[in-house]
A and B are shown apart, each in its own frame.
Chain A
Amino acid sequence: MSLQNPQHMTKKKVKQPLTVEQKIRRREFLSFGIFGTLSAAAYGGWKWLYHSPEEQAGVTAGARAPLRRALNKTELFFRRLTFNENHLVKTYPVEMAAKTVRHNSDIGSEGDVDIDQWRLRIVRKDKSVLNITYKEILALPKTELVFDFKCVEGWDQIQHWGGVLFKDLLTHFGLLKEVEMDYVGMMTPDEQYYVGLDMPSAIHPQTILAYEMNGKPLPAQHGKPLRLIIPVKYGIKNLKRIGTIIFSDQRPPDYWAEQGYDYYSGL
């Protein structure tokens, strides 16, 4: 059986030109083979990504590790390419502002707060604490803003806010070293809700600490007595009822970034 006719073998080696049928079969085999292999590889890659482990919980948490890396890189790309403090949010005539302002969440700002007892605590770079009263804030120049508030969920609403520019407040209280730092952290008095902001967004010329909504003092639901309005970010960053403000060169903790959302969340 294993013996073969040597003559027959040499005959076989002579290459015949391929018939059309053979060419078709060969090219079909090759292209479909490659197509199948790559499809399987792509499917495998997708499976891997879909089941990839969650990131290690830290300042950010709750996202798949590779997707978190991508989120951070993508945001950095768009920040470097497009962020400019002179890019202002579009403003509207005050008549266009919603009379019933949408309310989504009360985390960290449930119930009421006693304005006389309340203080804005600002922790300076040297860890000393500045306590500011409601009246001191009212004494600062007021800025009003009517803009389209945008929620990460996809809805938006034209709203009317009034308060002090965060930039003005920092200057007024001589927080110049603090402005040089990379991040600002803000949290509610009970520390249940907290946001981290990059400094350029925090000192954007339209970022205000608001104490008025539609020309009246903030109602409890909307962050009485003082809340953040930062139009260059999604609503999740617009912290209600500010208790403490800190400064850091590292990213301060951020409530929704710990729930899988992008840390930067810039618009």
Chain B
Amino acid sequence: MKVIKEKHSLAMRWAHWINFPLLGIMIWSGLLIYWANDEYEVMIFGHRFIKFFPEWFYNLLHIPHRLSEGMAFHFLFMWFFTLNGIFYVLYTLISGEWRELWPQKHSFKEAWLVLLHDLHLRKTAPPQGKYNAAQRIAYSAIIVMGAGSVWTGLAIYKPVQLNWLTWLMGGYHLARIWHFALTLGYVMFFVIHVIQVIIAGWNNFRSVISGFEVINEPPKPTAHDEEKS
């Protein structure tokens, strides 16, 4: 028998879908800024392994020579990005939904089992609540990363007036590297997240828009059955 099961609260769904375009705009405008001094690369044994970013990538996205434009967009949308994040964190704390989200002691061990299961290397997955162990870690980490982006961003934005924060973030250079690395992290998160959502299927995807999942429940046992057991 089909049953409607409430899954995601309205506040969580709002925060999720508002964040999606905001983060997109922040990453894009961040690229416009980064281009003006694109000094990061991955060196392995003196060989340049990855350059952030190659010319073709910039040209494809029309990034070059738009620093002032990038700053103007970045310093407007940072407000919405931050406020939406604060809203979500406060809601999650006050509503108590954090209990289903924040990793538990056994989550870190269990996450491996989830990963092995997802990679079809293990038959069974550990029992879970709303989120499995890997999800708890991922969806909590992404919030911590969001906070990290705000703090490192402020450290780069006002390194004199907020010099205590710049110091706390490891200085101007390190704050800028963190700010950049976190963005790469979002992109990786996004790719894995989308693949997982596609694999999980329609019922799961629908729940983040409609709030509910449909589950098949076996018919309820009658009083007579219960007596027997």
Asked if A pairs with B, the answer is yes
Instruction: Bits for A194-226, please: 1 = Cβ < 8 Å to B, else 0.
Output: 000000000000000000000000000000000
Does B159 reach chain A (CB closer than 8 Å)? yes
What is the number of residues of chain A that contact chain B, defined by CB distance less than 8 Å?
Answer: 47
The contact of B72 among A42, A89, A153, A260, by CB within 8 Å, is A260
Q: Name the CB-closest residue of B to A87.
A: B161
Does B68 reach chain A (CB closer than 8 Å)? yes
Distance (whole angstroms) from the CB of B137 to the closest CB of chain A: 28
**A153 near B67 (CB under 8 angstroms)?**
yes
**B75 near A70 (CB under 8 angstroms)?**
yes
Interface-lining segment among A78-86, A121-129, A138-146, A178-186: A78-86
Q: Name the CB-closest residue of A to B162.
A: A82
- Supposing A260-B68, A260-B69, A267-B159 touch, asked if A35 and B4 sit within 8 A by C-beta, the answer is no
Q: Name the CB-closest residue of A to B69.
A: A260
Q: Name the CB-closest residue of A to B206.
A: A28
Contacts of A153 in B (CB 8 A): 36-37, 67
The contact of A24 among B17, B34, B75, B214, by CB within 8 Å, is B214
Contacts of A88 in B (CB 8 A): 160
Give complex CA distance A28, B214 in Å: 11
Contacts of B33 in A (CB 8 A): 154
The contact of A154 among B3, B4, B176, B214, by CB within 8 Å, is B176
Contacts of B126 in A (CB 8 A): none
Contacts of B4 in A (CB 8 A): 20, 23-24, 27
Which chain B residues numbered 157 to 214 have a C-beta less than 8 Å away from chain A?
157-163, 172-173, 176, 206, 209-212, 214
Listed A/B pairs (12) with beta-carbon separation below 8 Å: A21-B2, A32-B209, A68-B72, A70-B76, A82-B162, A150-B159, A153-B37, A154-B39, A154-B176, A155-B39, A266-B161, A267-B160
Residues of chain B at the chain A interface (Cβ within 8 Å)? 1-4, 17, 21, 25, 33-34, 36-37, 39, 67-69, 71-73, 75-76, 79, 157-163, 172-173, 176, 206, 209-212, 214
Q: A23-B4, A70-B76 are in contact. List 14 more A-B contacts (CB 8 A).
A: A20-B2, A20-B4, A24-B212, A24-B214, A71-B71, A82-B158, A87-B160, A89-B163, A154-B34, A256-B68, A260-B69, A260-B72, A267-B159, A267-B161
